[in-house]
Every structure is written in C-alpha cells, then in structure tokens.
C-alpha cells in the first residue's frame, strides 16, 4: 500500500468522523443580532450581524474568510491577500496592517475591519472612532488559526464549515506533534532563518520562532534581547547552524528561479562557506504564503521534513498542500513554494 495515500486517506476519514461527532454534539444556531469576539489582543469586540462588508488587511485572515466560503464579503484588502482569484479585483487599502489607508477604508463603509498585530493602537482607534469595529487577530500557526477559524465561523454564520476546517487542520497537526514529541533537545537541529532581507531574523515568542519550534527545531536567535534583531555573518558563523532557511515575501508571484537565486545568494555570502548548514547542503528557501494562516500547517510539514527527514520519510508536504488547497479553496495547486 502506498504510504502517502494511506496517510492522506486516514486523515480524510478521521476528519469525517470528527465532523459527524461534532454534528451530533452541537446544534447549528443562527447568529444573534450581536456577537462578541475576543481577539488576539484580549479585547472584546461587539460585531453586529449579519456581516456583509469586510475590510481584511491581513492575508492570514483573508485566507480564513475565503476558506469559510465568505470571500465575496471582502470589499477591501491588503496587498498580500490574493489567495482567491477574485481578490485581485478587490481594492487595496493597505500594504499590510502596519500601513492602512484610513480614508480609503472609511469610504468602503465596512461592517468590520480585520487586521493583524502590526496595526498600531492609534490607527485602530481612528477606525473605531468612525463607528467601525476592529478585530486584531494573529493567525501565524495552526494553533492560533484554529481559534480564528472558530471566531470567524461564529461571526459569519459559518460554524459548520468552521468545524470542517478545524478538523482538517487538527488531524495534520497531530501527525507532526506525535512524531516529534519524544525528540531529545540534542536531536533537534539548530536553525538560522531570515525573512524578507539578509540577516533579518527573530527571537523568542515571535511567529517564526514558534514555527521552528513546533516543527522540531531550535532557533539560534531565540535568546536575543530584541524581538527582531539584525544578525551579521560573524554572528551566524559563531553559532554554526545545522540548517538555514530564507523566507521570501508572497506579495508577488514567486517563481522557481527567484527561490533558486535566493538560495544561491546565501551560499555565496562571504564567510558562510564554513557553516555546517552550507557544508551539508541544508539551505532552504520557503515562500511566506505557507508560513501563516490556514496554510501554515504546510510550512510546518516542510520544515519538519527538512529537520527530521527520517521521521517524515513517508510524508510529501506538496501532497498535503494540494489537498488543503482543494479542500479549503476548491482550487488546484499552482506555482512553487519551496526550493530545493
């Protein structure tokens, strides 16, 4: 029996079982006139239902909304929110949550604005002063995504679909957790990662630090005093990582050539030729589209397999990606997301 097919089939069956059980345990209820969402900042946000007009200035939230079959309610977006083809026609009102155009957002008259933690308190207050509720969510890994899916399912009257998505993610999450649970610290590779520009990394408690940890690795920048330090060649050489990962922004269509060039640039850096990761040819490039949101579990599988190829020999992360894209968005997988 094909191992990949067996695992995928088992996950599908487990998801169906979970759905049938949750269907027995819970009654579907219509949304009340107002629902209260506790977002990732701990704030309670009252949302008037039905929610028909959404401005989403975080791609992770846009993914969740589209997966809940409510993507047609997005009337404004950030430049990264392109998971569904129709979003290309939706007005861009922010480069990211850090830089929204408040005037454009207000012109769209949304029922709610959804942002991530890059939105400043001042900007949040300006939107709220106009009478528009703001939800700030951090959907950077499978665990936080599940909470966001549950919240949005309630807000959008898509609770049944939310249960389906949560069941799907949890079954994949369980595979990784089970296989790395008994690993000794000594058997976890030391990982250096950078994102968007050379030597820009992050320390303990950040989304990428968590991604490395849940995938069975150790972030060499974990103990740095600032959340997002800029490293140096000497710093990397001194810590001699087993693995190097570069993360490219998904704000544009990523090609295999772009991923390849990013990897070759790292390999050619002066001084890094003596680092274990370079000597052992364990330098990888990953597109940011699979490091957050509902597809973050795909990024976790790629990292877990890079970190522990023997433990994940029977897993093809691309196959997981294909299945999730089909299940969540009804699409076929296109493009490249990792190299090599």
218: β partners: 190
**2 within domain boundaries:** no
Q: 142-155 vs 296-307: helix axis angle to the nearest 10?
A: 170
What is the pLDDT at residue 3? 44
Instruction: Measure the CA–CA gap between 200 and 310, rounded to whole angstroms.
Output: 30
What is the pLDDT at residue 23? 42
- If DSSP codes are grouped into helix, strand and coil, which group holds residue 36? strand
What is the pLDDT at residue 252? 67
| Peptide bond preceding 340 in cis form (omega within 30 of 0) | yes
Find out whether 201 and 193 touch, Cβ atoms under 8 Å.
Answer: yes
Q: Name the residue range of residue 323's domain.
A: 183-339
Q: Which of the listed residues 135, 155, 175 is the one where a domain comes to its end?
A: 155
The enclosing domain of 306 has a CATH number of 3.40.50.1980
What is the pLDDT at residue 285? 98
What is the pLDDT at residue 292? 86
Name the domain count of the chain: 2
Task: Please identify every stretch of the chain with a pLDDT value under 50, giving residue numbers as ranges.
Answer: 1-4, 12, 14, 16-31
What is the pLDDT at residue 140? 81
91 shares its domain with 225: no
pLDDT tens per residue, range 167-186: 999 999 999 999 999 999 99
Ranges assigned E (strand) in the chain: 34-38, 44-48, 54-56, 74-78, 92-94, 112-115, 134-136, 190-195, 218-219, 243-248, 283-287, 338-339
Instruction: Measure the CA–CA gap between 210 and 191, rounded to whole angstroms.
Output: 12
What is the pLDDT at residue 250? 76
């Amino acid at each position: 029996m094909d191992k990949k097919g067996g695992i995928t089939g088992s996950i599908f069956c487990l998801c169906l079982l979970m759905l049938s059980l949750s269907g027995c345990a819970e009654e579907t209820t219509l949304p009340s006139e107002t629902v209260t969402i506790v977002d990732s900042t701990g704030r309670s946000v009252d949302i008037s239902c039905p929610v028909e007009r959404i401005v989403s200035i975080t791609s992770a939230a846009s993914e969740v909304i589209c997966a809940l079959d409510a993507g047609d309610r997005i009337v404004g977006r950030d430049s990264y929110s392109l998971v569904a083809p129709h979003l290309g026609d939706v007005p861009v009102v922010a480069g990211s949550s850090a830089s929204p155009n408040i005037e454009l957002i207000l012109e769209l008259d949304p029922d709610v604005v959804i942002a991530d933690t890059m939105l400043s308190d001042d900007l949040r207050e300006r939107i709220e002063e106009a009478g528009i509720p703001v939800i700030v969510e951090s959907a950077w890994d499978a665990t936080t995504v599940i909470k966001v899916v549950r919240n949005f399912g309630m807000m959008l009257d898509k609770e049944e679909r939310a249960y389906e998505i949560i069941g799907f993610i949890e079954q994949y999450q369980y595979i990784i957790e089970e296989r790395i649970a008994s690993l000794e610290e000594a058997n976890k590779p030391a990982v250096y990662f950078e994102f968007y520009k050379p030597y820009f990394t992050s320390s303990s408690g950040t989304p990428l630090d968590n991604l490395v940890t849940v995938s069975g690795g150790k972030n060499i920048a974990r103990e740095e005093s600032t959340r997002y330090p800029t490293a140096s060649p000497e710093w990397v050489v001194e810590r001699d990582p087993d693995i190097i990962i570069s993360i490219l922004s998904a704000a544009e269509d990523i090609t295999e050539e772009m991923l390849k060039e990013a990897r070759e640039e790292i390999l050619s850096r002066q001084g890094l030729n003596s680092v274990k990761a370079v000597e052992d040819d364990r330098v990888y490039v990953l597109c940011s589209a699979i490091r957050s949101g509902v597809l973050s579990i795909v990024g976790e599988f790629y990292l877990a397999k890079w970190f522990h190829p023997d433990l994940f020999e029977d897993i093809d992360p691309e196959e997981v990606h294909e299945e999730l894209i089909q299940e969540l968005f009804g699409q076929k997988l296109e493009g490249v997301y990792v190299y090599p």
